[in-house]
Amino acid sequence: MSSLEELAEEHAGLDGAAIDTLHAIVSDWQILADLSFADLVMFCRDPDSGQLMVVAQMRPYTAQTIYQEDLVGQTFAPEERPGVSRAFDEWRIIRDGDPDWSTGVPVREEAVPVPFEGEVIAVVTREANLSMVRAPSQLELTYLQAANDLSQMLSEGAFPFPGEDPERELAPRVGDGLVRIDPTGVVVYASPNAISAFRRCGVVDNIIGRNLAEFDLDDQAVLEALADGEPLESEVEARGAVVLRRLLPLTRAHHVLGGLMLVREVTELRRHERLLLYKDATIREIHHRVKNNLQTVASLLRLQSRRLESPEARQALWESVRRISSIALVHETLSQDSRQRVSFDKVAQRLVEMLGTGLTDPNRPVHMDLRGGAGELPAEVATPLALVLSELVQNSVEHAFPDRGGRIVIELERRSASLHLTIRDDGIGVPEGWSLERDANLGLQISATLVESELGGTLEVAAAADGPGTLCEALLPLPR
């Protein structure tokens, strides 16, 4: 299905800021649908044919929808939607007309023009099912009055409010709690959910008829925003309860008529968020301590190696130090990020630098070139992969260049569901008939075990096909 932008461009010739205006409406018109107890449908008009195209649709949470099917992408002739056509032509809200029975139920339609830079770029219809009409409660009357005010603001270009963040995952909805206030801040109506939210914060008396200054914990900011006709989102906490509030000033020709305050209690949500933050901090601290402990073990092994006379024993301890340091690098990275994912490119770069400093002989310099990237990897993949990279690079340095220097190219290629690690040197290569399963040294045995058992991949080591040297290839599956 085409997007709002594609439909508006193709069928109405809109672009740029005009489409941004429509996106802003769509990002915030759930409030209008809920207050209206009505479906909202947005139309654009073809400037040549006059055909009306539905570019967006919203169903209410507070009432049963009229349209079970999706209308987006459907076109209507002007005579099929006369109210919409009149709103385009007359630049005003069209409320008159008999109920429409085309859907099988009586539907009252109100067409609201959307102005932009001296023209009407769209019309939003509020379509309510009249068969559900009954004697309205005070809550429903307040909802409908607020919906009429917001519709008028929409027709004047005053709603949605400019500059507001369209991404509001936690923003309160109409059903979470609604407070209607007059221009001075006196509460005219409060829904039961709103009253309950304030009581969680310690406001036990009736708030209807009282000024916000008498009971609200952030009344100064709210009253100032109301007087200025500016929206406000805030969060208050008292007596262990946390309440989100969103103020929507209601205006008419830039004159403040009052305001709507949507409230939502998020106490448990905030408690869980704080618990997660605490757990994240604990996990990072654990990784930091593991890294420090590994570095301490590595230091002890270095001290021990200095006391040994046997070159073979010193070499074995040094290799253990290198392996421990490779693991410590991963834990150091995890200690800086709470997501338990590692930017392996940084780990690989530091490993290559560490190996280049610790392994190469100044008389036989080996240049290491790291190419490509692996991106972010889960910790359970990054740790064994760091060891594999370290072992394979050390193997090349020690065995590929017995009497001269050379070059090692390490390449990481991230694919859709796998990671390809290639290490190629220009050394003497493996002997004819050499086999990884039969002739591998300890470093290659460790690498093969980690790749196959820990990472579920494959490792191949063979003479380079197109030149001197050895080619090591590891193919590792990754979760999509």
CATH number, domain of 223, equals: 3.30.450.20
Question: Are 458 and 363 members of one domain?
Answer: yes
Position 125 scores a pLDDT of 96
Question: Are 24 and 123 members of one domain?
Answer: yes
Question: Are 370 and 451 members of one domain?
Answer: yes
- Among 246, 31, 259, which residue's Cα sits nearest to residue 126? 31
The token duo for 112 is 């609201």
Question: Are 34 and 86 members of one domain?
Answer: yes
Q: Which of 83, 104, 134 is the last residue of a domain?
A: 134
Position 169 scores a pLDDT of 65
Domain that holds residue 477: 359-480
Q: Is residue 450 part of a domain?
A: yes
| Rounded (5°) CA angle 463-464-468 | 95
Position 111 scores a pLDDT of 96
Q: Is residue 158 part of a domain?
A: no
Question: Are 119 and 237 members of one domain?
Answer: no
Q: Is residue 160 part of a domain?
A: no
Q: Is residue 435 part of a domain?
A: yes
What pairing do the DSSP bridges indicate for beta strands 470-477 and 418-425?
antiparallel
Question: Are 258 and 307 members of one domain?
Answer: no
Q: Is residue 353 part of a domain?
A: no
The CATH code of the domain that includes 463 is 3.30.565.10
Question: Are 247 and 326 members of one domain?
Answer: no
Q: Is residue 381 part of a domain?
A: yes
Position 86 scores a pLDDT of 94
Q: Tens of pLDDT along the chain (480 residues)?
A: 578 999 999 888 998 899 999 999 999 999 999 999 999 999 999 999 999 999 999 999 999 899 888 999 999 999 999 999 999 999 999 987 777 777 677 888 999 999 999 999 999 999 998 876 666 789 999 999 999 999 999 999 999 988 776 556 678 899 999 999 999 999 999 999 999 999 988 888 899 999 999 988 888 999 999 999 999 998 888 888 888 899 999 999 889 999 999 999 887 877 777 777 767 777 677 767 887 887 888 788 878 878 787 888 887 787 777 778 777 777 776 676 656 677 888 888 888 888 777 666 677 788 889 999 988 888 788 888 888 888 898 888 888 888 888 889 999 999 888 999 999 998 888 888 888 888 788 888 888 998 998 889 999 988 887 778 899 999 999 866
| Cα 79 → chain centroid | 43
User: What ranges in 13-137 are assigned the alpha helix state H?
Assistant: 17-28, 30-36, 82-90
Strand partners, 40: 58, 126
The CATH code of the domain that includes 124 is 3.30.450.280
Question: Are 473 and 378 members of one domain?
Answer: yes
Q: What is the distance between the alpha carbons of residues 336 and 346, in angstroms, rounded to a whole number?
A: 12
Q: What is the distance between the alpha carbons of residues 20 and 5, in angstroms, rounded to a whole number?
A: 9
Question: Are 23 and 106 members of one domain?
Answer: yes
The token duo for 84 is 């919409």
What pairing do the DSSP bridges indicate for beta strands 107-116 and 75-76?
unpaired
Q: What is the distance between the alpha carbons of residues 48 and 42, in angstroms, rounded to a whole number?
A: 19
Question: Are 87 and 33 members of one domain?
Answer: yes
Question: Are 30 and 121 members of one domain?
Answer: yes
Question: Are 249 and 261 members of one domain?
Answer: yes
What's the burial of 274, exposed, middle or buried (CB within 10 Å: 0-12/13-18/19+)? exposed
CB contact at 8 A, 61 and 174: yes
Q: Is residue 162 part of a domain?
A: no
User: What ranges in 361-457 are assigned the alpha helix state H?
Assistant: 379-400, 436-439, 442-449
Q: Which of 265, 295, 315 is the last residue of a domain?
A: 265
